[in-house]
Chain A
Amino acid sequence: MSNLSRRKLIKGGIAAAAGVTGLGIAAHLAQKYGLVPPDHGGIWGLGETLTYASQRLLTRHSLAREFPKSKISKPPLANEMAPPSEAFKRLQAGGFADWRLTVDGMVAKPASFSLAQLKSYPSRSQITILACEEGWSYIAEWIGVPLSHVLDAAGILPQARYVVYYSIARGWWDSIDMADALHPQTFLAYGMNGDELPVGNGGPLRMRVPRQLGYKSVKFITHLTVADNLKKFGKGLGSVEPEGGYAWYAGI
């Protein structure tokens, strides 16, 4: 073996070892700082992890762009769906007076809130874009209570890392990390454009995550579970979306 090729071999070996060690350290740090999305397995894991990690590092506290009232889309768009269930129709007939939001999981005081209770909390509004992954979008004023306020009322435990949320529509659930859950613009929305939130837009209660695509803003919310990891939920991919082939993180 010539000197040159031996030197090449040693250098290559050191580079490879450094690379593997570096990747190992990076993976460990990424896990520790919550930069790995729950759907990181499989062939799309590389792209998903890079997107989620870089957007978490860059956008943890940034605010979604807000617009003046004049920019509200007219007429408002409702990507409507059929009433999700008989139970929903009965609640709708009663003017949603019996609608409940239950909060459980890693909270000090599991609780159940009526719409009236949620509306008694300080209400906030934001005029933001709802953009669908398909390509269309609209601007609306969303009125509601910040999710963080409800979580504070229930008292989240220190080990909490995700909030899982369920629609009354069977099998429709999703989750967000604490960066989004505690974000000041993440709402449980019950109003839109100065009025009640229409059923077509997810009324009476819709999760509103304005820094992510529309499919994270799940309609007809009845249940929140605070969790330290997402392995026990569904197939462990974080939401029903990755089970249907869509990314859990929808910041892009």
Chain B
Amino acid sequence: MARLGSVPVTLGARVPSSASAVPATKVTSRHSALVRITHWIITLCFLALLVSGMEIVISHPRFYWGETGNVMTTPLFQIPIPSSRALVRTGYAYVLPDQNGWSRYLHFQAAWIAVLTGLLYLIYGVFSGHFRRNLFPAGADLSWRALRSDIANHLRFKRPSPSEAWSYSVLQRLTYLIVIFVLFPLVIWTGLAMSLAFVSAFPATVTLLGGEQSARTLHFFVSIALVLFVLVHVVMVCAAGFKSRMRAMITGRAATQKERP
């Protein structure tokens, strides 16, 4: 069972909730306290990073490949939106107000909180068995047949059975693993590769990506992948029962009997 230092934490579905009078089969802890807290902190950080990131992009909605790029060079692509700088010719007759100051402050503050929270989650995930138990798929589930049927169930928006509501399906597991171990590290890496000071100490972090403008372009695409994940995630939460899933992620409790309205 999970231990976090010596602080007793209620973890996983096997530990009866504090309301011990209620049978564990009816009301139990679906998500541990640490998972719930880190989930919502990172949710807030992600929203802050998204809003501030969009503001920063508006000051130069052109993307390039290689080390450098500016209004005198050919972009890889340009987002057809107005800009907050007169330097960029967007085709719009007006220039939006500059919002980069607070956006950049907020972007890095949210990034720090997200990264530190993520580290806490990673340490917990490794030592509590959360990754092993809840996220790594069982060998049998990794067959193409099992994957195909899971994908088909998702495409048909088939509601999960009550027992499945207590653990993640193989598709969910793989998605969460990709988000945690691929997309988040990539978005941090591509972000740091844009830092002039950081790459002065670790030049390989930017040369491996093909240059600072390539890092910026990749940062943009990894962010879009994360946004797509969040959209699908929210749609799936709604499909599976918005109230019960939100309750499970806020209070940790999920009443199995009420799982399906």
Residues of A within 8 A of B (CB): 8, 11, 15, 43-44, 46-48, 50-51, 55, 58-59, 62-65, 67, 71, 73, 75, 77, 79, 129, 131-139, 210-213, 244-247, 251-252
Contacts and interface: CB of A to CB of B under 8 A. Distances in A.
**Which of B8, B59, B71, B198 has most chain A Cβ within 10 Å?**
B198
Interface in B170-185: none
Interface residues of B, number: 43
Nearest to B71: A136
Nearest to A180: B197
Contact of B201 (A59, A67, A212): A59
B54 to A, nearest CB: 12
A27 B111 CA distance: 21
A55 B198 contact: yes
Nearest to B83: A134
B100 interface: yes
Contacts of B69: 136-137
A133 to B, nearest CB: 6
B130 interface: no
Interface stretch (B101-109, B151-159, B160-168): B101-109
Nearest to A140: B68
B100 A246 contact: yes
A139 B8 CA distance: 56
B7 interface: yes
16 contacts: A46-B109, A47-B109, A47-B110, A47-B113, A58-B198, A59-B200, A65-B199, A73-B70, A79-B87, A136-B70, A136-B87, A212-B197, A245-B101, A252-B195, A252-B196, A252-B198
User: Top 6 nearest A-B pairs by Cβ distance?
Assistant: A47-B109, A245-B101, A251-B197, A135-B60, A252-B195, A136-B70
Interface string B80-92: 0000010100000
B255 interface: no
Interface string B57-73: 10110100001111111
A142 to B, nearest CB: 14
B212 A129 contact: yes
Interface of B: 6-8, 56-57, 59-60, 62, 67-73, 85, 87, 100-102, 104-106, 108-113, 192, 194-201, 203, 206, 212-213, 216
B199 A47 contact: no
A67 B104 CA distance: 28
Nearest to B99: A245
**Which of B8, B62, B105, B201 has most chain A Cβ within 10 Å?**
B105
A213 to B, nearest CB: 7
Given A58-B201, A62-B201, A246 B104 contact: yes
Nearest to A246: B101
A47 B8 contact: no
Contacts of A252: 108, 192, 194-198
Contacts of B198: 55, 58-59, 251-252
B100 A134 contact: yes
Contacts of A135: 56-57, 59-60, 62, 216
B67 A67 contact: yes
B212 A137 contact: yes
B62 to A, nearest CB: 8
B112 A47 contact: yes
Nearest to A44: B105
A77 B112 contact: no
A139 B68 contact: yes
Given A59-B200, A65-B199, A134-B100, 10 more contacts: A44-B102, A47-B112, A47-B113, A50-B112, A59-B201, A131-B212, A132-B60, A133-B56, A133-B100, A247-B105
B112 A251 contact: no
Contact of A212 (B102, B113, B196): B196
A22 B187 CA distance: 31
Contacts of A44: 102, 105-106, 109
B8 A8 contact: yes
B197 A211 contact: yes
A67 B85 CA distance: 28
Contacts of A11: 6-7
A129 B199 CA distance: 12
